[in-house]
Amino acid sequence: MLATVDLDYPGPRRIGKLVSYDGLMLEATGFPMPVGSNARVIDADGHAALAEVVGFRGDRTLLMALDSDAPHSAGARIEPDRRGGNVEVGDGLLGRVMDALGNPIDGLGPISTADRWPLAGRRGNPLDRARVTEPFDMGVRAINALLTAGVGQRIAIAAGSGVGKSVLMGQMIAGADADIIVVGLVGERSREVSDFLATKLTGDVRKKSVVVAVPADHPPLLRLRAAMRATAIAEYFRSQGKRVLLLIDSLTRVAHAQREIGLSLGEPPTMKGYPPSALGLIPRLVERAGVDVVTGGSITALYTVLADGDDTDDPIVDTARAIVDGHIILSRGLAEQGVFPAIDVGKSLSRVMSDIVTPEHQRAAQILRRLWSLYEENRDLVLMGAYRAGSDPVIDIAIQRHDEILEFIGQDQKERVDYAASNQALLERFG
């Protein structure tokens, strides 16, 4: 049916009616709005809840509830909501914490913004993405020296649960050389959100940070929107010529949210129950980061990836590793030995390192990686006592210097080692 003309819309609004609801998916009639549109579901008692159009079936529109606890009833009124595909952006976001819909959750009052940015980003020309040629100081010795990151690089941090992904990310935040830091905490425990704000974002770091937080008990659409909102905010600041550090913790939770949505829409499950849309979401999200040739701004992105059962061949880990510019694999074995950060040097890689470091730095890093790999290949022989010293002089060196390598990788959580100091330490020990 037709309603009165609304100034926010170029004509009469379509007002639909709720005819089906199964706890997550709503079906409406008389509401032919495009996919991605927002809607308000207003029940007979006047209670209003938000939903988003995610598809259609025949002449019925399918919506996903943004509030899973809303008391919907049959015949509820469905109205379009103008807060749809745009994100409020501006300098007023700095130092603030918000949810997936942009509502402040830090108790500091309303957020004042002046501009808007598309939630799904602006599709650009691939040639507008510049090469990664400048080192990005992460403040972590092992990463600066052995897995050197570049300005505009996309990096995946993969590990099983409890190995230290979030802790390493917090250490990078403290040591990163960035104008703006945007953090998306997606699907984490509520306690971890509070802990992250209290321990990782303090002092001057908090003043240049924007946090979008959606805990694990929120509906999947909100978890998905949190990652998209954080990325959109980072894109806005990049368009202002800023050097932005974007952190999404975790990419796996985002894929889980898309899996719930996809399965609800009837998509066929593939590997480990992931529908095609869940695996296709990762490239769309990751490709939004990088260096902008036009403005000179950049988004250097870090994505944590949960390896279910410590399986680094998990579909999400494999998909993320294929699209990013480098990956850091954390080892549970090293973590159990008390080595932090527990970076498995042999399995980790920075694809842009050769373009941003000196030949001397590259050779020293290759020497350390070779000694690491030789030790790991012969670890079982050494531990069983089956290897006899003198059989291979290079393996002898790898065994003798293994503790020195572990000491080089290890770093206290509150310690910051800049890029120059990391490079100098690597050249002095392994150059």
What is the CATH number that goes with domain 16-80? 2.40.10
108: Cβ contacts below 8 Å, ≥ 6 apart: 96
- Of all residues in the chain, the percent with pLDDT exceeding 70 is 96
Task: Give the whole-angstrom CA distance, residue 254 versus residue 194.
Answer: 20
Are 237 and 200 within 8 A, CB to CB? no
Residue-range domain boundaries for the chain: 16-80, 86-357, 360-430
| Max intra-chain CA distance, the chain | 89
In 3D, which of 317, 305, 158 has the Cα closest to residue 227? Answer: 305
Q: What is the pLDDT of residue 11?
A: 58
Quick one: tokens of 264? 């609800």
Are 276 and 266 within 8 A, CB to CB? no
324: Cβ contacts below 8 Å, ≥ 6 apart: 154, 155, 156, 286, 303
pLDDT (tens digit per residue) in 103-156: 999 999 999 998 999 998 988 888 889 999 999 999 999 999 999 999 999 999
Are 328 and 343 within 8 A, CB to CB? yes
pLDDT (tens digit per residue) in 184-209: 999 888 888 888 888 888 888 999 99
Task: Give the whole-angstrom CA distance, residue 402 versus residue 396.
Answer: 10
Q: What is the pLDDT of residue 17?
A: 94
Q: What is the pLDDT of residue 68?
A: 66
DSSP bridge partners of 296? none
Task: Give the whole-angstrom CA distance, residue 302 versus residue 305.
Answer: 10
Global pTM reads 0.91
Q: What is the arithmetic mean of pLDDT over 4-11?
A: 48
Place of tokens 């990013």: 324
Query: Domain 360-430, CATH 1.20.1250.20 — does that match?
Result: no
pLDDT (tens digit per residue) in 172-188: 888 888 999 999 999 88
For the chain, the straight-line distance linking the first and the last C-alpha, in angstroms and rounded, comes to: 76
Are 343 and 142 within 8 A, CB to CB? yes
Residue 93 has pLDDT above 90, yes or no: yes
Q: Does residue 305 sit in helix, strand or coil? A: strand
Q: Which backbone phi and psi does 295 adopt, to 5 degrees?
A: -95, -20
Pick the CATH number of 86-357 from 3.40.50.620, 1.10.10.10, 3.40.50.12240, 3.30.1330.10: 3.40.50.12240
Task: Give the whole-angstrom CA distance, residue 146 versus residue 149.
Answer: 9
Question: How sure is the predictor about 2, in pLDDT bands with cuts at 50, 70 and 90?
Answer: very low
